[in-house]
Structure 1
Amino acid sequence: MIRVAERSDRDKLYVLYRMLVPNSKRMTVIEDQIEAIRLDSSNFLLVYEENGELLGTVTLNVCMQALYGFNPYGVVENIVVHDDHRGKHIGQKLLQYIEDYCRSIDCHKIMLLSNSTRHRAHQFFEREGYSGSVSKGFKKYL
């Protein structure tokens, strides 16, 4: 089942995020931030739960712009599927959920970035219809 994350998911989210960024010294998962995202109508922290366990998560930010009238766009971040549950279509279900929602609010595109070394993730995103050759992503960490 896919649902919005709650404060009580903090520790389980931490485990998933550690799989995404195992060596991060800055990673901090805060209950108040989970709640702030839950209450924000433009931001979504979603989890895939099965038998009380969190097996995946994804963040969606819906962004306004002036270029395409009232059509927003979505930004996907931090998509993680538990290492022991890959290959079970959990990531696919999370992305489909996001795509269905974005279509329902007339988003004109969904963007995501992926670490340049995550080749298996890139193959997954391309299988799901995301093109890695349309744009080039840039990041500046502050």
Structure 2
Amino acid sequence: MIREAKKDDLTAVLKLYKELRPSDPELEGNLAHQIWASMLDDPQTFLIVADIAGELVSTCALTINKSIANGARPFAMIEHVITTAQFRRQGLSRQVLEYAINTAWEHNCCKVMLLSGEKLTAAHALYESVGLQAGIEKGFVIKPSV
């Protein structure tokens, strides 16, 4: 089942994120719960999950960003796309992405953007399979120095 995340999904989503980003720092319990509750309460944030018999096996995050450009239509960003290793190649990432993209269209977004690591060619093929296209715009990223 593809659905939006619920309060009780925090631990499972953190487990998926650990697989996606193993070097991320561990969140202190209260902080994780506070941020999670804030995200779930935010009408512009959607955490999409694939739930198989009560186990969360895939997820992506969608944010809707307000704008005064494009006739004041918002734009959307997708991040943190992950399917746990044992459930890959079953179309689950595709399904959570399609849910996210449809949610963006339901919110009248003028576009949906997704950044991906330059060398993740298998992921790029997945993104293209749901209609995302490279070469329309160019993404740029800056991260703080540590």
Q: TM-score, normalised to structure 1's length?
A: 0.90
Task: Name the % identity.
Answer: 27
Question: What is the identity, as a one-letter code, of the residue corresponding to 2:74?
Answer: P
One-letter amino acid of the counterpart of residue 78, structure 2: V
2:122 corresponds to: 120
* In structure 1, C-alpha distance between the alignment counterparts of 2:56 and 2:109, rounded to whole Å: 28
For 1:12, the equivalent position in structure 2 comes to: 12
- For 2:25, the equivalent position in structure 1 comes to 26
Amino acid aligned to 2:52: E
Question: For 2:71, what is the secondary structure of its paired residue?
Answer: coil
Count of aligned residue pairs for this structure pair? 141
Q: What are structure 1's unaligned runs of at least 5 residues? A: none
Which amino acid is 1:103 matched to?
W
The equivalent of 2:109 in structure 1 is 107
Determine if contact 2:48/2:100 at 8 Å carries over to the other structure.
no
Letter in 2 for 1:119: T
Give the distance between the partners of 1:90 and 1:63, measured in 2 at CA: 25
Work out which of the residue numbers 60, 65, 68 in structure 2 matches 1:66: 68
1:69-97: CA deviation from partner (whole Å, max 9, x where unpaired): 23111100101111111111111111111
Instruction: Provide the rounded CA distance (Å) in 2 between the counterparts of 1:124 and 1:35.
Output: 30
1:100, distance to aligned residue in structure 2 (A): 1.6
CA contact (8 A) 1:61 1:76 kept: yes
How far apart, CA to CA, are the structure 2 residues paired with 1:9 and 1:134?
Answer: 35
Q: Which runs of 5+ in 2 are unaligned?
A: none
Residue 27 of structure 1, CA deviation: 5.2
72-81 or 116-125: bigger deviation: 116-125
Instruction: Answer yes or no: is the 8 Å Cα contact 1:74–1:102 preserved in 2.
Output: yes
**C-alpha contact (below 8 Å) 2:18/2:24 kept by paired residues:** no
Contact 2:57 2:83 in 1 (8 A): yes
* Residue identity opposite 1:13 in structure 2: V
Kindly indicate whether residue 37 of structure 2 is the aligned counterpart of residue 35 of structure 1: yes
Moved over 4 A (4+): none
- CA distance in 1: counterparts of 2:24 and 2:73, whole angstroms: 37
> What is the SS of the residue equivalent to 1:106?
coil
